[in-house]
Every structure is written in C-alpha cells, then in structure tokens.
Amino acid sequence: MPQTIKAAIVGTGFIGPAHLEALRRIPYVLVTGLVEVNQEVADAKAAELGIPNAYTFENMLKDDSIDVVHICTPNFLHFPQAKACMLADKHVVCEKPLSVTVEEAEELVSLAKEKGLINAVHFNLRYYPMVRQMKVMREKGELGEVYSVMGSYLQDWLFFKTDYSWRLDPKQSGGSRAVADIGSHLLDMTEYVTGLKIIAVMADFSTVYPTRLKPLKAVESFSGKKLDPSDYQEYDVTSEDYATILLRFDNGRTGSITVSQINAGRKNRLNIEVSGSKSSFEFNAEKPNELWIGKRETANSILMKDPALVDEGARSLVSFPGGHQEGFPDTSKQLFKEVYAAVREGKQPESPTFPTFADGLRELIIGDAIVESNANEAWVKI
C-alpha cells in the first residue's frame, strides 16, 4: 500500500461531508474523488468541497488509483454500490444500514470475506471515548454482572408535519425508519458496551403523522429551510416516528430502548444507562465528555474525558487534553483511523476493533425482528 491512501466519497447529503471532514484529519488519507447522481452535480459539489476529481459512480469504479470508497447514499443504494466497489477490488466504508434486507447484507459479508477486502459500517457513535471507557471498565469487572439496560435516542428534526427527508420514502429507506436510522446506533452500542447479545425483542411503533406534507422543492436533512404552503403535497407515511422496544439478553436479564424523531427540543440525544451488580454507567451524547458512574454505598462520580484519567483501552480515542471538548465529528475520525490502519496493513483484522459488515448484518437481523414484533404484537426471538 502506498504511503498515501486515496479515497472517494459517494453522496454529499448530510453525512458525506462529515466523512470528508473526518478523513481530512488523518494525515496519510487523501480524498481525491467525489461521486454524485450525475456529472453536473458531481462537478458542482467537488468544486464546493475542494475535491479534485468528480465522477459518476461507474467512472469512479474504473479509477484504479482509488483504494477506499465511502458510501454515503440513501439506504437502497448501499447494497449495489458496496457490491460493485468490492468487485472492483476497492475497500468499502458504508453508511448504516448496510443494506435494506438481511439477504443483501449476507451477500456483502460473504463477498468481502471472499475478496479479502477491508469492510466497515459507520457505527461511529460507539467511538465517543467515554463509550469505549464504559466497555473497558465493564471488561475489567468494574460494572459487575449486567442487571439491565435503559436507552433512548431522541431527535426533533421530523417534529413538524412539513418536515421531509428521503428517509420517509420506504423505496429509498426500507421498511423501518426511526429504528433503522438511529435505533441501530443505540442497539449496536448496547451490545458493544455490555458484551451481551440481544436474543429477543418486543416492539411497539407509533406513527404520529399518518400523512405528511412533502415539499415539491428539494430540502436537505437538518437544513431547517422553510417553504410556502403551495410548495407541499400530501402523502401517506408507513414508517415509525417513535418506537419502544423491550429487550432480552443472553445473560437472562432485560432492557428497553426508546427511539423518536418527533421529540421537540431533543436535537440528537442518545442516552444509555447500564445497571450492574457493582455500579451503574450512564452516557449522554449531548454531554459526550462525561461518564456518570453510580454507586449504592459511596458517592456517585462523573469521570471527565482526559487521556490521563481514562483507561489505556480508551486512550487511543482521545486526541486532546482534558477540558478540550471532543464530540460527534471526532467519532468518525477515530473510527476511520482504525479502518485505515487496516487498509495500510492490507487485510481485514481477524478481530477488528471497528464495526464491520458482519456488525451491519447483525443490526439488520435485530431490526427485522423488531419490525416483525411490532407487526405481530408479540415477542420475537433472534
């Protein structure tokens, strides 16, 4: 592998530029290509973002200088684009969900193994240093036996009936929305931190707006743009705005999570609390540099993110001294550092520290069980 690794980004909605910004903070990675829906859009976006080469997807595949492709497109494109990239012998970092069906994800996992390519899914929220700290402390026995997990992921960007995103279109996003979009992060984090496997789920969905008003003009996610009443048309909503899910774990204990995209004032509030026989841990992504540690017999404490204070196993995710805040943009950088270290080595690690296509498949399996549970109003085993 050359000293400089060249990457291309496919898609420039909300998350594509976030990938770009994170990659530019890794010294030996150079983003040389950008892919959009057509050449005209690609040219405009490449000029705006300062990327030297603009491509259609097919032309990008023909460029042998590109080593890694980041897929940041709507969900229904993840499978065909990831497959095409691997068939072109390019390593792949894919946004979640890995695909819209379990069968597609299984094919991608199999192909990645067959081709020996580095593969990763962008479950970046497990890369907050204090989330890694929770995992390390649990592995050291400081949590004790896991008694329960309570989690929530709350947003408000679909609070109004006129809020719209491609994620509301099942042809582009798949059969689930809030659970697939943000719930997948929380479910991934739950298994990552606790070391437990979810073995059964019971879900209840709510669609607050059975119909919404779709803008006739393009509006980017999280842009906050306002349109006139004449700029909308009514359409039916089939996916969930809100979901509550009961969980059963392979240690015999239980938990619950709530996900919502209609909670006013909650911009991006992921919260997870793990209760154990020795302590409780709580992490809130809107206060990402703090870890609450609860005790029964002594005073509770808050551990602040500081490379001098966190465990060695979490220190690699801390780039700045204590008191220097690190947040959402840093999670992608830390994930990509581990992925690109594997690219430099030229092979997928036997036990990757980063989330792989196998992790993407795992979340699709859990997600399908959650959708089935809601439909049947029953527990579903995984």
Q: Are strands 5-10 and 232-236 parallel, antiparallel or unpaired?
A: unpaired
User: pTM value?
Assistant: 0.94
Cα gap 17→14, rounded to integer Å? 7
Cα gap 315→306, rounded to integer Å? 8
All domains of the chain in start order, with CATH: 5-124 (3.40.50.720), 125-381 (3.30.360.10)
Cα gap 262→353, rounded to integer Å? 33
Cα gap 311→316, rounded to integer Å? 10
Tokens of 71: 């897929």
Instruction: pLDDT tens for the chain, 382 residues: list them.
Output: 568 999 999 999 999 999 999 999 999 999 999 999 999 999 999 999 999 999 999 999 999 999 999 999 999 999 999 999 999 999 999 999 999 999 999 999 999 999 999 999 999 999 999 999 999 999 999 999 999 999 999 999 999 999 988 999 999 999 999 999 999 999 999 999 999 999 999 999 999 999 999 888 766 555 556 667 778 899 999 999 999 999 999 999 999 999 999 999 999 999 999 999 999 999 999 999 999 999 999 999 999 999 999 999 999 999 999 999 999 999 999 999 999 999 999 999 999 999 999 999 999 999 999 999 999 999 999 9
Q: Concatenated DSSP letters for 204-241?
A: EEE-S-SEEEEESS---TT------GGGEEEEE--S-S
Helices (H), 278-327: 312-315
Nearest to 8, CA basis, from 119, 85, 87: 85
